[in-house]
Every structure is written in C-alpha cells, then in structure tokens.
Amino acid sequence: MSKVLFITGASSGIGAATARAAVDAGHKVALVARSEDKLNDLVTELGEDHAIALPCDVTDVSAQTTAFEAAATRFGQIDAVFANAGLGATGKGTEGGDIDNFRTMIDVNIFALTVTCKLAIAHLKQSKGHLLLTGSRAAHATLPGSVYGATKWFVRGYAENLHAELAEQGVRVTNINPGMVDTPFFDEGKPDALRPEDVAGAVMYALGQPDRVVIPSLQIYPMR
Ligand code: NJP
C-alpha cells in the first residue's frame, strides 16, 4: 500500500537515500531540509507526482509547522515521519569542543527533533502511522566527552518514552541506530562504513512490518 513519508534531513545522506527507497517502493515523500536546491534536484529525480520539497530549518518551529501542513495538504495524509535531521562534531570531546557546536547539536539533534515528533503525532494518530527517529550507535557506547553522542542518548531515551505514549494509540515508534555511514556528515569519505542506502533499507524494513508488529529499536552496523 502506498504511504506518505515526511522526512527531515532529506537533502543528503540517509534522508535522501530513504526518499529514493520509499519512492522505489511506490510511496510518496515530503522532503525537509534547509538546502532548497538539493531538495528541488531530488524532486526532479523522483518525479513531482511522488515528491514535494519543503525547505525549512527544523529549529524554526513555525517553519516546521508550515511544512507539516503543506505535506498534509499536498498528499492528503501523513503515514510516516522520519525525524532524521542531525549533525555532529565528532572526536573533539568536551574540553576541546566548540561551544557554538554544542548549541547547534542540541538545537537540531534534540530540540528540533522533539518539535518534529510533537507535530507528527496528530497526523500519525489519524493514519495509525509510524514515527521513526535516527539515533546512533553512539547511544550504545561510551564516547569520551562527546556531546554529539549524548544527544543520541537523548534520542534513545526519548524514542522509548514516545513508544510508551503512542503504542496504545496505534502509532508505531522505531529508533534507527546506525554505525558509521559514508555521508556528508563527515568531511572525508568512509569507504569501510555503511552506505546511506543500507540505512534506508533498514528504515523500509521497519516501515514494511504488518500492523501487529513494532520494532522499537533497530541497530545496523558496518562489518568492519
Ligand atoms: O548526514 P548528512 P547523515 N534544519 O549530513 C539536515 C545520523 N547518524 O545522513 O539543512 C533542517 O548527509 C541536512 O540538510 P541541510 C546523524 O546524526 C549519522 O549521515 O540541507 N535540516 C541534511 O539533509 C543524523 O541525525 C551517522 O544541510 C537540517 C541532514 O540533516 C542522521 O544520521 C551515524 C538541519 C544531514 O545529512 C542523518 O545524517 C549515526 C536544520 N537545522 C547517526 N541541520 C553517520 N553518517 O555515520 C541539518 O549513528 N539538517
């Protein structure tokens, strides 16, 4: 059955790969990120019947609200929301880290994610839909001093709390926890890492389960 997916962080990496996989599977996608040109290119690639570009900064609550309304108006309903937008500053710990980076990571990975989830709920209750979040292997490990890793520990705990809130209402919640993925998240290529389409495959697997099944947490790691 064709579904409508609302994807944040859709301009590159895991989000863009998930949009491609979803459209390949016959679904429709609403694409959210700041890079309007990249979103428009992706809409051209996927086809205007299947995709809509909704450029916005997810830390802007009113802009995200407008994006949800525009997606619902265009496609009639929203069946799945993938709260995936995020960024990191890895390897610098707390002592060597940059305070402005701390704020940005907390704003995007934590605050904006909670906004996405709050705005998603009314739509997903109506569609008996599915809320997916991008967590991380970093929330299943200790990374010395890592603020980024700690933001993903938040996602891990929050996803469990959302599952407890929403399961009774017929809304499934899945926290997707990738290991290292070769995306623009890193400044240089990561040949031994997962590819974004590997993570997209995990998202599609969770999404494709029958209504009686929920996968609260899914881990996908590179072999090496
Ligand atoms: O990275 P990248 P990934 N408002 O840089 C968007 C997690 N993760 O696909 O706004 C709106 O290709 C940005 O769009 P733009 C990671 O923490 C990764 O790897 O146009 N959107 C872009 O579309 C993150 O949660 C790895 O710049 C904003 C997207 O976010 C998720 O995977 C491992 C935004 C980032 O795409 C996707 O990252 C892991 C804003 N304010 C978890 N700020 C890994 N790569 O190894 C950013 O465990 N975006």
Domain range enclosing 46: 4-220
Nearest CA to ligand 1 atom 5: 185
Q: Edge-to-edge strand order for the sheet containing 130-134? A: 51-55, 28-33, 4-8, 80-83, 130-134, 172-178, 217-220
Residue 1 has a pLDDT of 87
3-state secondary structure of 68: helix
Does residue 119 contact residue 70 with C-beta atoms inside 8 Å?
no
Tell me which amino acid residue 181 is.
V
Tens digit of pLDDT for each residue in 149-196? 999 999 999 999 999 999 999 999 999 999 999 999 999 999 999 999
- Identify which of 56, 84, 156 to mutate to test ligand 1's pocket (most ligand atoms within 8 A of the CB): 84
- Identify which of 6, 7, 11, 221 to mutate to test ligand 1's pocket (most ligand atoms within 8 A of the CB): 11
List Cβ neighbours of 109 (8 Å cut-off, separation of 6 or more): 86, 87, 88, 148, 151, 152, 154, 155
If phi > 0 it is left, if psi is from -120 to 50 it is alpha, else beta; for residue 128 that is left
CATH number of the domain that 138 lies in?
3.40.50.720
Which ligand 1 atom minimizes the distance to the CA of 136? 48
- Identify which of 34, 203, 219 to mutate to test ligand 1's pocket (most ligand atoms within 8 A of the CB): 34
Q: Which residues are catalytic?
A: 148
CA of 168 from ligand 1 middle (Å) equals 30
Question: What residue ranges line ligand 1, CB within 6 angstroms?
Answer: 8-15, 33-35, 38, 57-59, 84-88, 108, 134, 136-138, 178, 180-181, 183-185, 196
CA of 212 from ligand 1 middle (Å) equals 30
The span from the CA of 205 to the CA of 217, in Å, is 12
* 220, burial (CB in 10 Å: exposed 0-12, middle 13-18, buried 19+): middle
Tens digit of pLDDT for each residue in 18-65? 999 999 999 999 999 999 999 999 999 999 999 999 999 999 999 999
CA of 16 from ligand 1 middle (Å) equals 10
Q: What's the pLDDT band for 89 if we cut at 50, 70, 90?
A: confident
Tens digit of pLDDT for each residue in 119-157? 999 999 999 999 999 999 999 999 999 999 999 999 999
Residue 104 has a pLDDT of 97
List Cβ neighbours of 223 (8 Å cut-off, separation of 6 or more): none
Q: How many domains does the chain have?
A: 1
pLDDT over threshold 80, residue 92: no
CA of 205 from ligand 1 middle (Å) equals 20
- State the helix-helix crossing angle for 113-127 and 147-166, rounded to 10 degrees: 20
